[in-house]
Copies of this chain bind each other. A is one copy, B any other.
């Protein structure tokens, strides 16, 4: 019963994702999504009541993935993973939602993103503490350093849409973070 609908739902999200990545949140209309999916208005509205609904569904998928990093490896190895994930994200561009997310955040969804951000910061703090405990990292002001890691990354990610970075810029990020954490 009703199996085809799920395929369409996914196709809608897939196409909408691309549109949001291209144009941000505000500039995407339901008509745009109709066009891309080949659906009519009636067809599309059967699934989603508007762009906000589609976007928030995309977002929850997105952050679900980002949130499930939880292991018990050496701090250095975890750091490697996180930095290479970040490197990839800075370099990808085409699928970057940074504009859409930022627009959406500024439309009354501040608390949600404050929360996301708080969690990310806590994750970094606990990694830094853990690494300092095992002696892999230098002792640092974990609050300040995790903010640096996060906002430096945000700045890069956002402006990589506007300025065409070479790999050097993304490498510099990694290099600076490692340098800050390196034991002398």
Q: How far is the CB of A157 from chain B (nearest CB, A)?
A: 8
Contact between chains at B144 and A172 (CB < 8 Å)? yes
Chain B residues, CB < 8 A from A110: 162-163
Question: Shortest CB–CB separation between residue A46 and chain B, in angstroms?
Answer: 28
| Copy total for this chain | 2
- Complex: A27 Cα to B25 Cα, angstroms: 11
Instruction: Render A117-150 as a binary contact track against B, CB cut-off 8 A, 1 for contact.
Output: 1000000000000000000000001011101101
User: Contact string, A148-177, partner B, CB cutoff 8 A, digits 1/0?
Assistant: 101111111011011110001100110110
The segment from A2-10, A33-41, A55-63, A100-108 that touches chain B is A100-108
> Do B162 and A105 touch across chains, with their CB atoms under 8 A apart?
yes
Indicate whether A114 reaches chain B with its CB closer than 8 angstroms: yes
Alpha-carbon distance A146/B60, docked complex (angstroms): 35
Cα distance, A152 to B159, chains bound together (Å): 11
Contact check: which of B26, B105, B164, B168 meets A26 at CB < 8 Å? B26
Chain B residues with CB under 8 Å of A16's CB are none
A113 within 8 A of B: yes
What is the bound-complex CA distance between A69 and B96, given in angstroms?
Answer: 34
Q: Note all chain B residues with C-beta closer than 8 A to A117.
A: 159, 163
Tell me whether A102 and B158 are in contact (CB under 8 A): yes
- Asked whether A113 and B152 contact (CB < 8 A) given A144-B175, A172-B144, the answer is no
Bound CA–CA A168/B143 (angstroms): 10
What is the interface of chain A, defined by CB distance below 8 A to chain B?
24, 26-27, 99, 102-103, 105-106, 110, 113-114, 117, 141, 143-145, 147-148, 150-156, 158-159, 161-164, 168-169, 172-173, 175-176, 180
